[in-house]
């Protein structure tokens, strides 16, 4: 750019078109955005990642930035805009920093809403979904998000879902997909089964007022529990994830180490056994009853000839259900009933009563516990209420020799310590006792050490239409037979009657259901359930790396180049379901040898919700902000910029209509400045900035470099886009402040040019439309998208003079201005000359001087 050695740029004020400038030029966002929108539609491939994944030696570092793909519900909402504005800013920033960026988008397009809409509006789900995708894609484009649409993935298309089926066959082949009749969660509104993960406080995740009921159904399950240990262990590796999400996943997996112990039912001819799970087998000599969940299979036997007991058990079940519906199972009043039967403690042969209790849950552990009132607060409560024996078997022995054992013995001890009253195990530490007792149980065949998880296998069968058909066939002769790979995809038929009957709609399509057995060729029936849509989203991001592959889900090389995802961005509501299934799928694919990474996502980011008028936006509350309306009124840049400016991205953001108004003003301010100060035709425009600048010019230059530093630091170090934008606003304010000097040529034109170019570059990730317009106004012809991010010069950013606050005894009393590199002596000397400092310290002695270089001086006086 430097062309001539003559450095001082001069132009006569009359040369500037702003001599009589029209101050009321308004920034016409619609005109500018429409212009660029049309160009970008034409140049869509601009956003495509460089094809470096085919084994060629990479020339750039890759960066995979991904926002969670949306469900095509009809229209984007403001939460989407916020999510994508973050991702797009990041993608653009990384492009400008020279990375090979993959920034794709797709559609999680199977699922219930399409069916419900179809029933309501009498439109086939496919049409409804396609129309929504078209609309939302148009919205995304209008918002200016730079997606590589050549990699678009739509999960409801056979070219995608056939690979769901392919994966299912692989799971089946490896013994990780199985079918079993089981009690399942059924939502009567959805008319389908829900995964455990989709049950919230006993209610359906979609219908918060609809209690989930239990039904017996034949279901397909994926053995995610085989990976429970690894899923748990590898959480430790995810240091790029928020702690909150990691904790939620840990809780969800819910690992618990203990022992399974069998108690024989006394005097029972059938040899019935109650298996309990306990983490405190060491306290088993203190077990004074066995407690069964009301739904425990043995209970039915006990109540068969005992109506009174049966009625009590029914009561307990009702109480549990009520508490679950209220989402308050933790506060249920403990109640129980004695069955009159006895169980035998296998360690000492003691007979203890068998009770049924409402605080014992059928779906955790074995649905039966040994009750040790002296060492478990729940059992303690229960025993007090029903006057059951409380027997102390552990003393809290401290390692501190000075500490004596509490006397008289406590009735209740939660801590571990040393065993008493436990026969041959007495005097052992709890830790040793657990080990020895588990070993003895195993030797004698009445139990073993065991680990249980809260995590259950993933039930993926759904009795609905709009999903991936499960590629299985039932033959009278050969039983369950997988569809051969070569016959995939099993196509989802169109024109299906999807009215809700409780049975899968596909059962009513004879040409779908009736088929031949792939093994024997005889008549057979197709599986008519479809897959949970969380299957679709468990691996879609791999498909982006090789979206058109028609002989594999993706090419391993492509996936290896791009994975793991460098930055994944989405709502915290997916912290458990989607993210845990995705991790599971990745580990499975790794075990199949398809990929090498253990985890799909390096850095995970959960953005906050968008709140309006103190509440989450929802149609019911009527506080929804429509992105279309915002784009129409203020433009896409304003909508995006505001969603980034109003709060740091990880926090909930309060949407205020007046706030976006301020952003619109800011964009106009930027536009007008450049309108009046862009003179690319001037011969001095592209010269280098002179070295020795007069104070007003130096101030502009300093502010410029300080701004670049702040925006860069806040962007990559902290993701504080709100302060990035504030910093840019300050720069613009400073440029307006320098207008008089610029008008008098006190600021050389090359510096004015540089400031505007850097301003456009820094705005590019946040407000791409305006940034591109500015870039053009500044006479630049190259692509802004991949123009280099501006660099700051630390020397030029440095202040020559600084103001040092002076405190006396910690209270601010004055300020002194000194050269930036001033020695302490000078600062103290000037400080002591300050009137206010003087008056605050007269008649007193300075006992201490604390000088923090460049920051502050504190004089301690007495």
Partner RNA sequence: GCGAAAGUGGCGGAAUUGGCAGACGCACCAGACUUAGGAUCUGGCGGGUAAAACCGUGGGGGUUCGAGUCCCCCCUUUCGCACCA
Cβ-based nearer residue to RNA, 101 or 806: 806
Tell which one of 187, 517, 653, 816 touches RNA (CB under 7 A).
Answer: 653
Cβ-based nearer residue to RNA, 695 or 717: 717
Tell which one of 4, 12, 20, 24 touches RNA (CB under 7 A).
Answer: 24
Distance between CA 626 and CA 634 in Å, rounded?
A: 12
Token pair listed for 519: 């093994």
Under the binding rule (CB under 7 A), the answer on residue 384 touching RNA is no
The H or E element that residue 65 is part of is strand 62-67
Cβ-based nearer residue to RNA, 170 or 375: 375
Cβ-based nearer residue to RNA, 325 or 381: 381
**In the complex, what is the shortest distance from the CB of residue 219 to RNA, in angstroms, rounded to a whole number?**
21
Distance between CA 794 and CA 797 in Å, rounded?
A: 5
Residue numbers 661-680 binding RNA by CB under 7 A: 661-663, 665-666, 668-669, 672
Token look-up 């940034």 returns 771
Contact present, 29 and 671 (Cβ < 8 Å): no
Token pair listed for 643: 């969603």
Cβ-based nearer residue to RNA, 461 or 707: 707
Cβ-based nearer residue to RNA, 253 or 595: 253
Cβ-based nearer residue to RNA, 142 or 280: 280
Token look-up 């040369």 returns 15
Tell which one of 35, 322, 384, 454 touches RNA (CB under 7 A).
Answer: 454
Tell which one of 152, 815, 826, 834 touches RNA (CB under 7 A).
Answer: 815
Contact present, 418 and 429 (Cβ < 8 Å): yes
Question: In angstroms, what is the C-alpha Rg of the chain?
Answer: 35
Distance between CA 312 and CA 813 in Å, rounded?
A: 77
Contact present, 639 and 81 (Cβ < 8 Å): yes
Under the binding rule (CB under 7 A), the answer on residue 203 touching RNA is no
DSSP letter at 544 equals T
Contact present, 615 and 621 (Cβ < 8 Å): yes
| Rounded (10°) CA dihedral 664, 665, 671, 673 | -160
Binding mask 26-65 for RNA (x = CB under 7 A): x---------------------------------------
**In the complex, what is the shortest distance from the CB of residue 843 to RNA, in angstroms, rounded to a whole number?**
16
Binding mask 280-309 for RNA (x = CB under 7 A): x------------x----------------
Under the binding rule (CB under 7 A), the answer on residue 647 touching RNA is yes
Distance between CA 700 and CA 724 in Å, rounded?
A: 18
Distance between CA 199 and CA 252 in Å, rounded?
A: 13
Tell which one of 409, 480, 848, 853 touches RNA (CB under 7 A).
Answer: 848
**In the complex, what is the shortest distance from the CB of residue 552 to RNA, in angstroms, rounded to a whole number?**
36
Choose the binding region for RNA from 214-222, 433-441, 550-558, 811-819 (rule: CB under 7 A). Answer: 811-819
Under the binding rule (CB under 7 A), the answer on residue 607 touching RNA is no
Cβ-based nearer residue to RNA, 243 or 692: 243
Residue numbers 225-264 binding RNA by CB under 7 A: 243-244, 247-248, 251-252, 254, 256, 258
Describe the crossing of helices 125-142 and 627-634 by its angle, rounded to 10 degrees. 30
Under the binding rule (CB under 7 A), the answer on residue 651 touching RNA is yes
Tell which one of 44, 729, 797, 832 touches RNA (CB under 7 A).
Answer: 729
Residues 6+ apart with CB under 8 A from 551: none
Choose the binding region for RNA from 33-41, 348-356, 714-722, 826-834 (rule: CB under 7 A). Answer: 714-722
Under the binding rule (CB under 7 A), the answer on residue 812 touching RNA is yes
Distance between CA 609 and CA 740 in Å, rounded?
A: 43
Choose the binding region for RNA from 229-237, 356-364, 499-507, 627-635 (rule: CB under 7 A). Answer: 356-364
Choose the binding region for RNA from 410-418, 523-531, 558-566, 640-648 (rule: CB under 7 A). Answer: 640-648
What does the DSSP assignment read for 409-459? PPS---S--EE-S-GGGTTSBHHHHHHHHHHHHHHHTSEEEEEE-S---EE
Distance between CA 261 and CA 442 in Å, rounded?
A: 9
Contact present, 553 and 542 (Cβ < 8 Å): yes
Contact present, 808 and 839 (Cβ < 8 Å): no
Residue numbers 314-353 binding RNA by CB under 7 A: 327-334
Under the binding rule (CB under 7 A), the answer on residue 807 touching RNA is yes
Under the binding rule (CB under 7 A), the answer on residue 736 touching RNA is yes
Tell which one of 17, 423, 810, 853 touches RNA (CB under 7 A).
Answer: 810
Please name the residue ranges forming H helices in 412-496: 430-444
**In the complex, what is the shortest distance from the CB of residue 44 to RNA, in angstroms, rounded to a whole number?**
33
User: How many C-beta atoms surround the C-beta of residue 293 within 10 A?
Assistant: 25
Nearest C-alpha neighbor of 427 from the set 376, 393, 389:
393
What does the DSSP assignment read for 266-285? TT-TT--EEEEEES-GGGGG
Tell which one of 583, 720, 757, 772 touches RNA (CB under 7 A).
Answer: 720
**In the complex, what is the shortest distance from the CB of residue 638 to RNA, in angstroms, rounded to a whole number?**
11
**In the complex, what is the shortest distance from the CB of residue 53 to RNA, in angstroms, rounded to a whole number?**
35
Cβ-based nearer residue to RNA, 646 or 693: 646
Choose the binding region for RNA from 47-55, 80-88, 411-419, 660-668 (rule: CB under 7 A). Answer: 660-668
Choose the binding region for RNA from 210-218, 411-419, 459-467, 799-807 (rule: CB under 7 A). Answer: 799-807
Cβ-based nearer residue to RNA, 222 or 670: 670
Residue numbers 475-534 binding RNA by CB under 7 A: none
Contact present, 369 and 276 (Cβ < 8 Å): yes
Token pair listed for 762: 């820094």
Under the binding rule (CB under 7 A), the answer on residue 743 touching RNA is no
In 3-state terms, what secondary structure has residue 345? coil
Buried b (16+ CB within 10 A) or exposed e, 764-778: bbbbbbbbbbbbbbb
């Amino acid at each position: 750019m430097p062309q001539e050695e003559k450095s001082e740029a001069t132009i006569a004020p009359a040369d500037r078109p702003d001599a009589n400038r029209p101050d009321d030029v308004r920034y016409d966002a619609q005109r500018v955005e429409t212009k660029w929108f049309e160009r970008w539609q034409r140049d869509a491939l601009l956003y495509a990642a460089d094809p470096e994944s085919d084994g060629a030696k990479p020339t750039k570092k890759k960066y995979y930035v991904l926002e969670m793909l949306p469900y095509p519900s009809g229209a984007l909402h403001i939460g989407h805009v916020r999510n994508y504005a973050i991702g797009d800013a990041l993608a653009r920033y990384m492009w400008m920093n020279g990375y090979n960026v993959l920034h794709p988008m797709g559609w999680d397009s199977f699922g219930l809403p399409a069916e419900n809409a179809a029933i309501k509006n009498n439109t086939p789900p496919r049409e409804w979904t396609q129309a929504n995708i078209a609309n939302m894609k148009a919205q995304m484009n209008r918002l200016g998000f730079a997606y590589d649409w050549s990699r678009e993935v739509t999960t409801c298309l056979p070219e995608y879902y056939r690979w769901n089926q392919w994966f299912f066959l692989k799971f089946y082949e490896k013994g990780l997909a199985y079918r079993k009749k089981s009690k399942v969660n059924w939502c009567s509104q959805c008319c389908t089964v829900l995964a455990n993960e989709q049950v919230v406080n006993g209610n359906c995740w979609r219908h918060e007022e609809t209690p989930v009921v239990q039904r017996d159904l034949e279901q397909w399950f994926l053995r995610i529990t085989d990976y429970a240990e690894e899923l748990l262990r590898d959480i430790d590796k995810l240091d790029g994830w928020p702690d909150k999400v990691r904790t939620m996943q840990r809780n969800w997996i819910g690992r618990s180490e203990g022992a399974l112990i069998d108690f024989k039912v006394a005097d029972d001819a059938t040899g019935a056994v109650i298996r309990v799970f306990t983490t405190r087998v060491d306290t088993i000599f203190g077990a004074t009853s066995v407690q069964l969940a009301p739904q425990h299979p043995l209970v039915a036997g006990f109540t068969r000839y005992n109506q009174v007991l049966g009625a009590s058990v029914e009561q307990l079940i009702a109480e549990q259900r009520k508490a679950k519906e209220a989402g308050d199972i933790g506060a249920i009043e403990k109640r129980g009933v004695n069955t009159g039967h006895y169980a035998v403690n296998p360690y000492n042969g003691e007979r203890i009563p068998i009770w049924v209790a409402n605080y014992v849950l059928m779906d955790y552990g074995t649905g039966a516990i040994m009750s040790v009132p002296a060492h478990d607060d729940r059992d303690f409560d229960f025993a007090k209420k029903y006057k059951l024996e409380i027997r102390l078997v552990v003393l809290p022995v401290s390692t501190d020799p000075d500490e004596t054992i509490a006397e008289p013995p406590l009735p209740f001890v939660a801590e571990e310590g040393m065993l008493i009253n436990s026969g041959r195990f007495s005097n052992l530490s709890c830790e040793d006792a657990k080990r020895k007792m588990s070993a003895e149980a195993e030797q004698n065949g009445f139990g073993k050490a065991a680990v249980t998880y809260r995590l259950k296998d993933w039930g993926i069968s759904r009795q609905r239409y709009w999903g991936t058909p499960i590629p299985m066939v039932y033959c009278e002769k050969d039983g369950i037979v997988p569809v051969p790979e070569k016959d995939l995809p099993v196509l989802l038929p169109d024109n299906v009657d999807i009215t809700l009957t409780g049975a899968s709609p596909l059962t009513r399509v004879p040409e779908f259901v009736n088929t031949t057995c792939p093994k024997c060729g005889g008549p057979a029936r197709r599986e008519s359930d479809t897959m949970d849509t969380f299957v679709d989203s468990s691996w879609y991001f791999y498909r982006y790396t090789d979206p058109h592959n028609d002989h594999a889900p993706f090419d391993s090389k492509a996936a290896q180049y791009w994975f793991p995802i460098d930055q994944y961005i989405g709502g915290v509501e997916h912290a458990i379901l989607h993210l845990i299934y995705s991790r599971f799928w990745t580990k499975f694919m790794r075990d199949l040898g398809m990929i090498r990474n253990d985890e799909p996502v390096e850095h995970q980011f959960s953005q906050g919700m968008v709140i309006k008028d103190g509440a989450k936006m929802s149609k019911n509350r009527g506080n929804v902000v429509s992105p279309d309306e915002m784009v129409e009124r203020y433009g896409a840049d304003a909508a995006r910029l505001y969603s980034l400016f109003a709060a740091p991205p990880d926090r909930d953001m309060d949407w205020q209509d007046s706030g976006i108004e301020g952003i619109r003003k800011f964009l106009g301010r930027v536009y007008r400045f450049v309108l009046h100060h862009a003179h690319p035709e001037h011969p001095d425009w592209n010269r280098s900035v002179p070295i020795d600048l007069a104070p007003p010019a130096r101030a502009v230059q300093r502010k410029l470099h300080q701004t670049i530093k702040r925006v860069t630091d806040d962007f990559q170090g902290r993701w504080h886009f709100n302060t990035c934008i504030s910093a840019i606003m300050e720069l613009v304010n400073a440029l307006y402040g320098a207008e008089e000097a610029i008008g008098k040529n006190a600021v050389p034109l090359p510096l004015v040019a540089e400031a505007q170019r850097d301003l456009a570059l820094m705005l590019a990730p946040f407000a791409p439309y305006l940034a591109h317009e500015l870039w053009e106004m500044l006479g630049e012809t190259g692509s802004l998208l991949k123009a280099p991010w501006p660099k700051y010069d630390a020397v030029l950013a440095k202040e020559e003079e600084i103001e040092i606050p002076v405190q006396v005894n910690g209270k601010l009393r004055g300020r002194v201005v000194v050269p930036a590199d001033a020695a302490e002596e000078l600062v103290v000397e000037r400080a002591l000359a300050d009137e206010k400092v003087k008056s605050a310290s007269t008649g007193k002695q300075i006992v201490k001087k604390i000088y923090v270089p460049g920051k502050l001086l504190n004089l301690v006086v007495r």
